[in-house]
Amino acid sequence: MRKKTYLTKRGLLEAQAELDHLTRLYRPGILKTLEDIYTEKNLAEDADYDRTKNDLYAVEKRIMELGNLINSATVVEKTDDKKVSVGNKIRLKFLTDNKTRTYYVVGTHEANPFKNRISNESPIVQAILGKKVNEIATVTMGLREYKVRILGIFA
C-alpha cells in the first residue's frame, strides 16, 4: 500500500507554481538552447550539448515528480486547533532544556528545518500527533529521549 503524502494549501500552490515555471519557461529555454547548439556545432565533442541534455533530463524528472505529487497528494484544507495535526502551527516546550520552539507541521515534501517547517514523519511530530495543549510527549531520536509539552496549537 502506498504511503499518504500530505500537502498544505500553501505547499500545493508552491508545487503548482514550480511546475508551471518549469513547463512554461525553463524547459522551453533549455529546448531552444539544445536546438541552437545542434544547428551550430559538431555534437560529438560538445560539452555544452551534453550539459544541456543533462539539464533537460533533470527538469523532465522534476516535472514528473511534481506532477505525481500534485495528482496523488492529500491536501490538508482545514486544521484543528484542539489536537496536533498536519497544517498546524505548534508551540512546544522542551522540558530537558526549558526552551520553547514554534514549528509548522507539514508533509514531507514541504519540510524545511531552516523555516521551522517539520515533517509529519519526523520523530517530534510522530510523538505529538493527536495530542492536545498541555499534554507531554516523549520524543525518541536515536538513543536519546526528550520530553516536550505542547504549549499551543494554531489552525
Domain locations along the chain:
6-76, 89-154
Q: What is the pLDDT of residue 36?
A: 84
Residue 117 three-state SS: strand
**pLDDT recorded at residue 47:** 81
Asked whether the domain spanning 89-154 has the same topology as the one spanning 6-76, the reply is no
φ, ψ dihedrals at 120, nearest 5°: -65, -15
Strand partners of residue 124: none
Residue 153 pLDDT grade (very low, low, confident, very high; cuts 50, 70, 90): very high
Q: What is the pLDDT of residue 2?
A: 64
CA angle (125, 128, 134) in 5-degree steps: 135
Per-residue pLDDT tens digits for 4-57: 789 999 999 999 999 999 999 999 999 998 888 878 766 656 788 889 999 999
Q: Whole-model pTM?
A: 0.79
> Is the CATH number 3.40.430.10 carried by domain 6-76?
no
C-alpha cell at 115: 523555516
pLDDT score, position 42: 62
**Class of 89-154 per CATH?**
alpha beta
